[in-house]
Structure 1
Amino acid sequence: MPATTIPGATTVSSLEAHLAVPAGEGPWPGVVVVHEAFGLNDDTRRQADRLAAAGYLAVAPNLFGAGGVRCLRATFSAMLAGEGPAFGDIEATRTWLAGHVDCTGRVGIIGFCLGGGFALGAASRGFDAAAPNYGRLPRNAREILVGACPIVASYGGSDPTLRGAAGKLESLLTELDVVHDVREYPGAGHSFLSTVEGPAASLMKVVGLGPHQPSADEAWARILAWFDTHLRRPAS
């Protein structure tokens, strides 16, 4: 799958991204894939490729650029605040994808870890569906999530960094009358949807991170069913 660049970004003149295109002829619904704290790596590319295999035009922008750890701090702060240049980059990506010749114009967003927080923060900003995975709630989540698109969210019950996050999000989305499906998987920790294998996966498990296949399989089934309902079918 090809690398591409997205114009109109806030932090750089053009945003590096991974574009995953389904087989056959489009147009297809689009999905913006927001990476975790490790940046646009092979794990994120595989998540985008999985969405393409399911029939979605998926693009994963690199929100870090060449900024490294310094950029990570600024990006994480923007996610918690619900505002900042990174949201401008996500909006540029959504606009580019919606206008792509192979896109139907309906666009969802999915994110993992850091990206899960951004998927929550961007859910009320023009997207048609959102799938935040183990995403931290923004500080002003109540204000940010007013008018949000339908949200399918997944958390690990054994994730010590996000204790109670699923319950808080469930209550908040119910209060705000946002269509949602929030699930917490008891046997899963943080990053349970990761595709990392081998020694890296074993090391992650030692500290309670990394893949948990039964939970990942169920979460992906819910995500794809959600996108099928809210992206592939015409809006009601």
Structure 2
Amino acid sequence: MSQAYSDALRARFATAVQPVAADTLVLTDAESLVQGDSVVATPTGKLPVYWAKPKGAGPFAVVLVVHEIFGVHEHIRDVVRRLAHLGYLAIAPELYFRQGDASKATSMDELRDKIYSQVPDAQVLSDLDQCLAWAASHGGDTARAAITGFCWGGRITWLYAAHQPRLRAAVAWYGKLTGPTNVFHPRHPVDVVDTLKAPVLGLYGGQDSGIPLEHVQQQHVGLRLNGGGSRLHVYPDAPHAFFADYRPSYREAEARDGWRRMHAWLKQHGV
């Protein structure tokens, strides 16, 4: 890899996660895909989105992709292309766009204090609704819709599965399950297990220092009591962000298995 290319590649990732671990980085091309950056009209602004889908008329099943705390940087865009290669119209909205540019934040403290802690859950759920509506007029079959998300987006995935009745399935990667509440974040996944409108597959790491196994067990008990077909899978030796191939936390075996489980879950539920 030339130095110029390496520098250009690093620039496509959030500043707060530099340096990028280039030796494990997955890069997915757009060959045989249609992809681009667009905006989705919402009542309070134009929401930037990155999307990709197979070439052809469609309609294609829709997968909403909810970014990590770092926003829609190159890894999330790559995930969108991976899903498009599987036959989906995948859409990743920049859900912080009103609060700030997550890609420019230089530290986790700045991200937390100035951006994502200020993003209301209700606003995010509404934006995702608007993305589904956009998909319907851009080659998507919203009768076959799903959502997946990572870290911050994993928590949102649970909440959206309790919000949107049109979803067929959801896959939450190591999303926070419980914690303090406030006016912006009044509920967590443990609070919505009895109102889920789509089955959720939760993928978690047994060595995740931010999501204790007792929280995963609490979610498991809630799901078992309320039925609905949702499932949790824990990788005993995996840390948080084990799917993030651009970070030292990446675990290839667990990431590959999680991807396989996600695809099977979507197919099982008609997406």
**TM tier, smaller:** 0.7 to 0.9
Shift of 1:94: 2.3
**Counterpart mapping for 1:176-215 below 5 A:** 176-196=226-246, 201=247, 205=248, 210-215=249-254
* Structure 1 segments unaligned to the other structure (5+ residues): none
CA distance in 2, matches of 1:143, 1:216: 28
Shift of 1:172: 1.3
**Counterpart mapping for 1:100-111 below 5 A:** 100-105=137-142, 106-111=144-149
Which of these two proteins has the greater Rg computed from alpha carbons? 2
Q: Supply the RMSD in Å over aligned alpha carbons.
A: 1.7
Whether the 8 Å contact between 2:50 and 2:93 is mirrored in structure 1 is: yes
Residue identity opposite 2:140 in structure 1: C
CA distance in 1, matches of 2:128, 2:193: 16
Whether the 8 Å contact between 2:159 and 2:192 is mirrored in structure 1 is: yes
Matched-pair identity in %: 27
CA distance in 2, matches of 1:211, 1:27: 34
After superposing on structure 2, the runs of 4+ consecutive aligned residues of structure 1 that deviate more than 3 Å are: 138-143
Note if 1:166 corresponds to 2:231. no
Structure 2 residue aligned with 1:137: 177
CA distance in 2, matches of 1:42, 1:223: 20
Shift of 1:166: 2.5
Q: Tell me the number of residue pairs that the alignment of Structure 1 and Structure 2 aligns.
A: 212
Q: Quick one: which of 173, 190, 195 aligns to 1:147?
A: 195
Residue identity opposite 1:227 in structure 2: L
CA distance in 1, matches of 2:219, 2:133: 27
Structure 2 residue aligned with 1:122: 160
Whether the 8 Å contact between 1:2 and 1:18 is mirrored in structure 2 is: yes
CA distance in 1, matches of 2:58, 2:170: 22
Whether the 8 Å contact between 2:177 and 2:211 is mirrored in structure 1 is: no
Shift of 1:147: 3.4
Residue identity opposite 1:15 in structure 2: L
* Structure 2 segments unaligned to the other structure (5+ residues): 1-34, 102-110, 179-186
Whether the 8 Å contact between 1:108 and 1:231 is mirrored in structure 2 is: no
CA shift digits 1:45-97 (9 cap, x unpaired): 1111111111110000001116143221212xx4xxxx432222122112322
Q: TM-score with structure 2 length normalisation?
A: 0.73
Whether the 8 Å contact between 2:42 and 2:130 is mirrored in structure 1 is: yes
Residue identity opposite 2:117 in structure 1: R
CA shift digits 1:176-227 (9 cap, x unpaired): 112122101012111111131xxxx3xxx3xxxx210100111111100011
SS at match of 1:38: coil
